Amino acid sequence: MSGFRGQVTLDGPSGTGKSSVARAVAARLGAAYLDTGAMYRAATVAVLDAGVDPEDGEAVAGVVAAARIEVGTTAGTELVRVDGVDVAVRIRGAEVTRAVSAVSAVPAVRRQLVDQQRALVQAADAVVVEGRDIGTVVLPEATCKIYLTAAPEARAQRRAGQLGVTDPAEIAAIAADLRRRDDYDSSREDSPLRPAADAVVVDSTDLDRDQVVDRVVELAQQSVGVSR
């Protein structure tokens, strides 16, 4: 056992490898894992299935309030359901990706899901939580706060690798979409994407996943006085 007891927040933009890093860190620390982005994507599935315009904040809030969104907290198993239906694969699709920023910018949606996130965190002695506003809004008193970033070109290449894309034009389109999401998430009025004042910024541009995991685990253990 690692001896870690506390909360690790892992924030940052799309394409930095947050999900794979957070899962690996949780496994190393013997901690629960929560992907808050999956919750917003699940909410987006509910909105799309209801035929609601993602830009219609009032209608979006009503749909999400009525939806039953479930996410798992086990690092090795992805569980994402909307009203009992497994949407773990669907939430990563292009349709959801295009709409999720608009849905997640609705203040009422954020309030609802933040309440769920805090409840899930409170049930765990040790937890790794990834997202965009965890260290700043969801868990401002977290034990260890990390902001994971990388150069836009590196992020686009990684996302292309995940999708099996090799065509330069498609990779350029991925980079443009990442920049669009960054701009949208960073400029929204409610819970914008930004590092917490006391977060440690980890730049993964020139690091592989294992090196990033090692660094985050080291920072987490240092935060509670546990030696490696």
What are the tens digits of pLDDT across the range 40-49? 999 999 999 9
Give the mean model confidence (pLDDT) for residues 191-210.
Answer: 92
More confident residue, 192 or 61: 61
Q: Which amino acid is at 57?
A: G
Judged on CB neighbours under 10 Å (0-12, 13-18, 19+), 45 is: buried
Say if residue 130's pLDDT is above 80: yes
For position 108, what pLDDT does the model report? Answer: 96
Written as six digits, the tokens of 157 are 């290449």
For position 160, what pLDDT does the model report? Answer: 85
What are the tens digits of pLDDT across the range 64-120? 999 999 999 998 888 999 999 999 999 989 899 899 989 999 999 999 999 999 999
Give the mean model confidence (pLDDT) for residues 4-29.
Answer: 93
* Backbone dihedral angles phi then psi of residue 190, each to the nearest 5 degrees: -95, 115
Tell me which residue of 76, 79, 98 sits closest to 89, measured CA to CA: 79
Say if residue 209's pLDDT is above 60: yes
Q: How many CB atoms lie within 10 A of CB 111?
A: 13
For position 189, what pLDDT does the model report? Answer: 79
Say if residue 1's pLDDT is above 90: no
Say if residue 22's pLDDT is above 90: yes
* Backbone dihedral angles phi then psi of residue 32, each to the nearest 5 degrees: -70, 165
For position 228, what pLDDT does the model report? Answer: 53
For position 184, what pLDDT does the model report? Answer: 80
What are the tens digits of pLDDT across the range 136-148? 999 999 999 999 9
Highest mean pLDDT among 172-176, 193-197, 212-216: 212-216
Q: How much of the chain exceeds pLDDT 90, in percent?
A: 68
Full-model pTM: 0.88
For position 67, what pLDDT does the model report? Answer: 98
